[in-house]
Every structure is written in C-alpha cells, then in structure tokens.
Chain A
Amino acid sequence: MIKTTNLTKKYGDFTALDNLNVEIKEGEILCLLGANGAGKSTTINLLLNFIAPTSGNAYINGLDVVKNPKKTKPYLTYIPENLMLYPTLTAIENLDYFLGIGGKSFSKAELKTFLEEAGLQQEAFNKRVQFFSKGMRQKVGIALAIAKGAKVLLLDEPTSGLDPKSSNEFGELLKRMKNAKVAILMATHDIFRAKEIGTHIGIMKQGVLKHYFRNDEITLQNLEKVYLETMTLNNTAV
C-alpha cells in the first residue's frame, strides 16, 4: 500500500531524508521513532506530495505520488500533529465539507455513523468544533478516513498532547483500522505506544532509517535500549 524506494529529500547541503526504503502492506502499522528533525515528518510530507523528493519515489497503492498527485489522495487520510478543523462549523459539517470537496457526498445519517465508528460521542456531532479537544478533533479525522474508505492512514505525532486515556482510546481505534486492512504510517515519540500498536517499528536519525524491527522481534525494554543507543551514538553508518 505504502512504498518508498530510495526516497531522498535535500535542502541544499542538508539531507532531511536519506534513501528511505520501506513498504507497509494492508493491515500493517509502521511506527517511526526518532528525535525532532530525524526525517519522520519529511517522509509523511513526501508521501502526501506536499514537498517534492530530490530523488527516489514514493508510492501509494502502487501509484507514484509525484506523477499522480490527485489520484493518490482518495486512498489516503492524513492526520497532522495538530489537526485543525473549521471552528465555526460543527463536526458533521466539517466532515461533510472535507468529503464533499473531494467529490464524495453522504447523507447526514451516514456521516453520523462514521463519527460514531470513530468513537466521537453523540452529543458532539452537532457542536461547533471550536470547543473540541485534540482527541475529539482526531476522531473527526478518523471518521474522515472511515468515510473515504481510506486504505492508507498517515499520522504525524497523533498521541502527543493526549492524556493517557485518550491516547489509549486512539490506539484501540488504530488497531481496529488495522484489522480493517488499512496500511498505517505513524510518526511518534512515544516508544510505549509504538510497541503497543505497531506491527513494525523503525528508528530514524538524521534522515536515515537506522533500525527496522517486526514487533515480535523485540521487547519494549530492548526497543528503548536500542533507541537510546542510536540517539547517543555519533556514528552515521548503519
């Protein structure tokens, strides 16, 4: 579903992403760990075609994102770190708008079921989004993915700033999405959550993917140890 081959992004002399090769299949969750500036968000922005790669390719559902900017979008849903919706519109209206401009229209009842599936409480459906917490806004984002039937979910630090309960809820939601055969890429700082929900885990540093594990290959303790080692070591070779 998601695939990158030798994906590289340079800003002048600075290499934000260096030869990334990953593949995420249906029903897989790749959690990318790494410090700020490690290249996690760059990867997501490249997959979204927000920025153009210096070299290499990114594919969504087998389509090159640079060559098919509009064709790849129906397959994916993106939830930025701080998902912002239109404050004066309600949850339903926001959902309707974002789906509508993309050419998908649904009845009100259908929109409600999407929000319900995403776990938003009933009372919030018709409330203006300006009063929503981050967790609630993210649920609207997930509802968007459900409604689109998105096969790809790109998440940028979704759990930062969430309280543990909301964070847990969000994890459960992602697991459900995974079971529904969605390929998920999630950039995060949260080692615990990554181990908890990821089918695969990557550790990035200075634009390079340093480690790549299957979830069952490593324990939480080892993962933390590897992470800290990677961060403190000064070597650039893998």
Chain B
Amino acid sequence: MFRYNFKYELKSLLRSRWLLLLSLLLLIVVLFAGYNGKEKVKERTQELKNVVLESNTNDAAMALVLDSIESGLQVSVNPRRMPNAPMNVAYNYPRVAAIPVAPLTFISTGQSDLFTHFIKPSAYGDSFSLDYSELANPIQLLFGSFDLSFVIIYILPLIIIAFSYNILSEEKEYGSLKLLASQPISIYQWIVQKTALRFFWLTLITLAVITITLLFFGFDFKTNFSAFLQLISLVCAYILFWFTIVLLVNLVVNNSAKNAVSLLAIWVFVILIIPAVVGQLANSFYPIPSRTKMITEVRELKEELSSKQDKILDNFLRDHPEYASKDGNSNYSFWHKYIASQELVEEELKPLISSYEDQLTKQQNWVRLWQYSSPAILMQQSFNNLAHTSTTHYQSYRNQVALFSKEWRNFFKPMLYGNKNFTTNDYKKLPSFTYEPPINSSVLLKVVVLLIFSVIFIFIGKQVFVKKIKKGTIIS
C-alpha cells in the first residue's frame, strides 16, 4: 500500500501544482525573513566593530601617552584626561561590554530590538541603572519583525492547515472514500500514511528551504552543526505536531468547512490566546514592582547619602584600613568620596534592585513551566535561546555587566586610595569583559514533548476512528 500511496500522492501533489506553489511560497517567505534578520545582525555587528575600533584607538593613544610620561617626556593632554591618574582612566577609557552575535541570531529577533548590545560601564554611574534600552520606533516593536521564527511559528502551521485541512473530508465529500473503503485496506492506516506522506514532503521542502537560506546567509554548518540540528529537529517536531492536529480534526470533524474553522480556532488558541494568557498570568502573579517607586527611592537615598559623604568616607576607610593613606594626608578628592558612597548606595539598593530581577526571573520560570501548554511558546523560547535573544540572555548579560562594572571599579580602587599612578603595567592588566551565554535547557526535551503531543493526538485519532467505524459515520 505504502508504495502506491507514495507514488500517487506525489503525482497528485505535483499535478495540482501544490508542491511547486508551496516550495516557491516558502522559499520566498523564508528568504525574505532570513534577509530581514541578516540585515539587523549586520547592522549590529558593524556598529560593535566601530565601537571596538574606536575604543582600541583611544587605548592606543593612551598607551602612547603613558609611555611618554613614564619615559619622562612632556605631554600636552587635558589634565582631566591624563592617563597616569587612575580614575581618569577608569572614567574616560571604559571597556566595551558587548553581547556578541550568535550564529543563529538572525533567525529570531526575540528581545534584541528592545535592548542595546554593548555598553561602556565607567567608574561613574550606578552599575544597576545602566540604560540598556535601545532607541527604536515603538511601532516597530509593536508590530514585530518578519523573521524566520515568525514564519515558522505563525505561517507554517497555516500552510499546513491550508494544505491538508480536508485531507480526509475531501475524499468523503467527493466520494472516492467509498471506493477506497471497499478495498481490502484499513482506512485508518491509509489516512495515516497519506498524512505522513504530506508531512514528509512539507518537512523536506521546509528543511531544504531553511538550509538554502542558512547557506545563502553564510551560516557555518561545520562549527555550528549542533545548533543546526537543534533548529531542524524543532522544526520537524513542530510540523509533525500540526499534522497530527490536522489528522485528528479530520477524523473527529470530517467536514471540510468545519475542519477549516476548527483548525483555525485551534491555531488562534495555540498561537495567540494561550501565549497571551500565560504572559498575562505571569505579569499578574509576579508583577514587576513600580518603577516610579524605584526612581523616588533611589533618589531619596542618594540625596541622604550625599549630605553625609565625608562621614561615609571616614567609615569606609575605617572598614578598609588598607585604603587609608599612611602618611596621614587627608586631602581626599571627589573620587575618594564618590567611590566610597557609591559602594554604600549599591549595597543599600541591592534588595530593591534585585526585587526587579527576581520578579523577572520568577516570570521566566513561570513561562518555562507553562511553555508546554502551547507549542508556540515552546518554539519561541527555543528559537530565542538558539538565537541568543531570549529574556534570559539579556538578563544574564545585564548581571554580567553589573559584575564587570564592579570589577572595573575595584581594579582602580587600590590605586586611588593608595595614591598610586596608573602605569603601562596596569594598562596591560586592565580587566576585560567576555559575555558568557547562560546554559539553555535542552532542546531535546522540548522536541520530545512535541512528539508526545503528536503521539497522543494520533492515539486519540485512532480511538475516534474505531468508534466512528462502529457507528459507520466515517465513510458515509
């Protein structure tokens, strides 16, 4: 049976021009989505390159000046930028802390349009309130981007529905099902085979189109093969999920127009309603505390502390005797006071600041728990993870930058309080920032969950079929 099904299903598909139309449509859509993603990535890479280049140029100039000072030459530099004063370096020559582009970043915009991708934390400013927001037209954020993840999560199921919503009901309505049923075959087996064949062809086309797109946009398969495998296994499982839904609806409803309406309702629920509800619940269960409240609290605290700066410095030096000047010279500069009070500010605000991050983490965990309620959430989470554009990635980036910002300040602290000069030797030891992506939960689990969904649907489908055969409502 399988051989004949294979041969004639293919023949039918080819003759009705479905396969051709489908392939072309998918190719155009996926290429366009890939192009959009790639343009965004290109822009981002280019900008980072410029920033790093500029930073390197500044560094080189600074190193030169340092060298001149150390060899006793006269230099003409704005005293505020003299690199032998450690805090001048700490303030004027920040490192670039960037979240780099991952090989698959272009498949999913994720949260990347909301946040900036590099930041230069200097010794001045609060490490907790660095501005990560990106300058963007909010309309664009509202509408979102036409990226590969949109095509796969939203459009692909619709293509599957349009392609196969009447896979069984058409035969029934047309009349060919009766002739089929009078052959010595199991109709259930036959319809499963037919669905499987369509699944096979659509998956083949989709994978081919995705591979072409990746090739076209210079994806390195060799070094990123595992990411590629994860991507395609997710896509396959997702396609399978929708085909089993289509099969189930065909068996349960078995009327073309009603099938289409039911499938559409399922699409709306899985892709629009469930994610919106889960998101809404995350916000209501773990609301982010009022930001306006934070604003006032931070300012009140700072105002309070700024009036007591001298006292704070005294306390600070008592706690850190290693920083107190040995010769009793108490001529402290702005920076001495600032670093001391800043440390206090950050210490005091820690619980408040972390309450935001904690709530966000809780929201994330909630979503992680409920992602299994809709394959669309599952896919979005996985794609964002593969693309390194998920909420978790940006949150981890912010935390890493905050830590680095502290590290940066601490690097200069002994020099500042020890009244030491910044030297070429110190320059070589300057800390630098490398982004460590968070460890993702396994894609395998998600694929398995999608497969379990599919198996359950097939099982239910079989039960429905058996019941309907008994009642005689499948064929006529």
B472 near A45 with CB under 8 A, answer yes
**Which B421-476 residues have a C-beta within 8 angstroms of A?**
469-472, 475-476
Residue B11 is within 8 A (CB to CB) of chain A in the complex:
yes
Complex Cα–Cα for A79 and B175 (A):
11
Q: Which of B4, B5, B470, B476 contacts A45 (CB 8 A)?
A: B476
Residues of B within 8 A of A96 (CB): 4, 8
Residue B373 is within 8 A (CB to CB) of chain A in the complex:
no
Residue A102 is within 8 A (CB to CB) of chain B in the complex:
yes
Residues of B within 8 A of A84 (CB): 174-176, 179
Residue A141 is within 8 A (CB to CB) of chain B in the complex:
yes
B175 near A71 with CB under 8 A, answer no
Q: Which of B7, B175, B190, B476 contacts A83 (CB 8 A)?
A: B175
Contacts A100-B4, A101-B4 given; indicate if A86 touches B185 (C-beta within 8 A).
no
A88 near B16 with CB under 8 A, answer yes
Complex Cα–Cα for A85 and B174 (A):
9
Complex Cα–Cα for A23 and B318 (A):
112
**Which A50-69 residues have a C-beta within 8 angstroms of B?**
50-52
Chain B interface SS verdict (over half): helix
Q: Which of B1, B181, B185, B471 contacts A48 (CB 8 A)?
A: B181
A73 near B183 with CB under 8 A, answer yes
Contacts A71-B184, A74-B184, A89-B11 given; indicate if A98 touches B476 (C-beta within 8 A).
no
Interface centre among B1, B8, B180 (most CB of A within 10 A): B8
B12 to chain A, nearest CB (A): 5
Instruction: Tell me the nearest residue of chain B to A46, going by C-beta.
Output: B472
Residue A70 is within 8 A (CB to CB) of chain B in the complex:
yes
Q: Beta-carbon contacts of B1-32 to A below 8 Å, as 1s and 0s?
A: 10111011001100110000000000000000
B195 to chain A, nearest CB (A): 15
Residues of A within 8 A of B49 (CB): none
Q: Beta-carbon contacts of A73-93 to B below 8 Å, as 1s and 0s?
A: 110111110111110110001
A139 to chain B, nearest CB (A): 14
A51 near B472 with CB under 8 A, answer yes
Residues of B within 8 A of A132 (CB): none
Residues of B within 8 A of A85 (CB): 176, 179
Contacts A45-B472, A50-B476 given; indicate if A77 touches B182 (C-beta within 8 A).
yes
B184 near A98 with CB under 8 A, answer no
Q: Which of B8, B15, B174, B184 contacts A97 (CB 8 A)?
A: B8
A102 near B181 with CB under 8 A, answer no
Residues of B within 8 A of A154 (CB): 182
Residue A103 is within 8 A (CB to CB) of chain B in the complex:
yes
Residue B178 is within 8 A (CB to CB) of chain A in the complex:
yes
Residue B419 is within 8 A (CB to CB) of chain A in the complex:
no
A78 near B179 with CB under 8 A, answer yes
Instruction: Tell me the nearest residue of chain A to B2, going by C-beta.
Output: A101
Residues of A within 8 A of B325 (CB): none
B7 to chain A, nearest CB (A): 8
Contacts A45-B476, A50-B476, A83-B175 given; indicate if A101 touches B182 (C-beta within 8 A).
no
Contacts A89-B8, A96-B4 given; indicate if A103 touches B175 (C-beta within 8 A).
no
Complex Cα–Cα for A98 and B190 (A):
12
**Which B175-208 residues have a C-beta within 8 angstroms of A?**
175-176, 178-186, 190
A50 near B475 with CB under 8 A, answer yes
A86 near B182 with CB under 8 A, answer no
Residues of B within 8 A of A80 (CB): 175, 178-179
Complex Cα–Cα for A30 and B472 (A):
25
Q: Beta-carbon contacts of B153-187 to A below 8 Å, as 1s and 0s?
A: 00000000000000000000011101111111110
Residues of A within 8 A of B470 (CB): 52
A98 near B181 with CB under 8 A, answer no
Instruction: Tell me the nearest residue of chain B to A9, going by C-beta.
Output: B472
Residues of A within 8 A of B476 (CB): 45, 50-51
A166 to chain B, nearest CB (A): 19
Complex Cα–Cα for A48 and B178 (A):
10
Complex Cα–Cα for A78 and B176 (A):
11
Complex Cα–Cα for A96 and B12 (A):
14
With A78-B182, A84-B176, A101-B180 given, can you name 11 additional A-B contacts, CB distance below 8 Å? A51-B476, A71-B184, A73-B183, A77-B182, A84-B174, A84-B179, A88-B15, A88-B16, A100-B3, A100-B4, A102-B185
17 contacts across the A-B interface (CB closer than 8 A): A48-B181, A48-B182, A50-B476, A51-B476, A52-B471, A73-B183, A77-B182, A80-B175, A84-B174, A85-B176, A96-B8, A100-B1, A101-B1, A101-B183, A102-B1, A102-B185, A144-B179
The 8 closest A-B pairs by CB, nearest first: A51-B472, A100-B4, A73-B184, A84-B175, A78-B182, A88-B15, A102-B183, A80-B178
Q: Which residues of B contact A (CB under 8 A)?
A: 1, 3-5, 7-8, 11-12, 15-16, 174-176, 178-186, 190, 469-472, 475-476
